[in-house]
Structure 1
């Protein structure tokens, strides 16, 4: 989808405001020449305040990340033409947000709740595009439904023993061992990995085309 705009993209400094190796991998796989500069703002939004509104939590956190990194980079040289990408992914079940497990027991409790059930994965994204004095931005979210098979306590404990769940929202990673727990999905697979690739490309195309029309 971005192929016709490669020449335009090559004129921008493109920065991912995240240390997530999954997001880095997804964007590098589509040959996007990204730099990594994680936001240094503490992510301390109250998850309980966003009950039944997990998409708003993900979008607000993505906004915070992107705005923080954009503010830092605008003070640096070589940032006249700049694209900053902020993103956040959460797992939600029955309206409650489940982030990264704080302990192995927390991971066990989370996976036990998701066992045999369907839950949602929400990713919020903010893209900021700056071309000299002209700055545009877009914020959006993507939702994917994930259907888990019933999991025995032994299966959950064995999975936690791999340590894979400990840095994943909802306590699992679909792109690795955690994929064996998933019966199916409805929506964007990459969104469950941590970045809604198709929606991102659609919004990038619109931003770049708008920038071309103004120039």
Structure 2
């Protein structure tokens, strides 16, 4: 079986960044965000993103026809194993950026792929980790960024692909993972599932 036999590709996420990343590698998914209330039973970043990506994918895969492949994903930023979610306010964004500036942190994305076959589902979950190092930021730079609109819908209160790129010293791992989806690995895993 190959990619052409996949009748439908569904992204269980409303993230415009994930949709753009998939489009970049030639995949055009239907967008069907999960409406499930997320439940987390762990505080370990890898376990959290695995669990949440799986919950989202399972929720959306329940009502798909055979031949559909569902992608569920969840991204968190962690520093010293402490998870930084999306900021709830500009003040919260300021707190997070203040913690991250001048230091190293990790971005974890959990991805769950579910291929709905005629009789059973194939399921694969994996986690991609990227290390990010930031330059030191002045009080003014932190404030200006935190009180802009850019950090508000992003884990860890920043988008590497936006204005925040000015403060990224280096990354070790997949850049796209930091944007929200390690598409190279996603593509390879889908190919492996459909062989």
Aligned to 1:8: 5
Answering whether residue 104 of structure 2 is matched by residue 118 of structure 1, we say yes
Matches within 5 A, 1:38-187: 38-45=33-40, 49-50=42-43, 53-71=44-62, 73-74=63-64, 79-187=65-173
Q: Secondary structure at the match of 2:115?
A: strand
Q: Secondary structure at the match of 2:70?
A: strand
Aligned to 1:212: none
TM-score w.r.t. the length of structure 2 is 0.95
Shift of 1:181: 1.4
TM-score w.r.t. the length of structure 1 is 0.87
Higher helix share: 1
Aligned to 1:213: none
Aligned residues: 195
Q: Which has the larger radius of gyration?
A: 1
Aligned to 2:24: 29
User: What are the ranges of 5 or more consecutive residues in structure 1 without an aligned counterpart?
Assistant: 210-215
C-alpha separation in 2, matches of 1:197 and 1:66: 16
Residue-by-residue CA offset, 1:56-108 (whole Å, 9 max, x unaligned): 1001000000000011x23xxxx221101000000000010001001111111
C-alpha separation in 2, matches of 1:87 and 1:163: 23
User: What are the ranges of 5 or more consecutive residues in structure 2 without an aligned counterpart?
Assistant: none
Residue-by-residue CA offset, 1:119-156 (whole Å, 9 max, x unaligned): 00000000000121132110000000000000111001
Shift of 1:13: 1.0
Q: Secondary structure at the match of 2:194?
A: helix
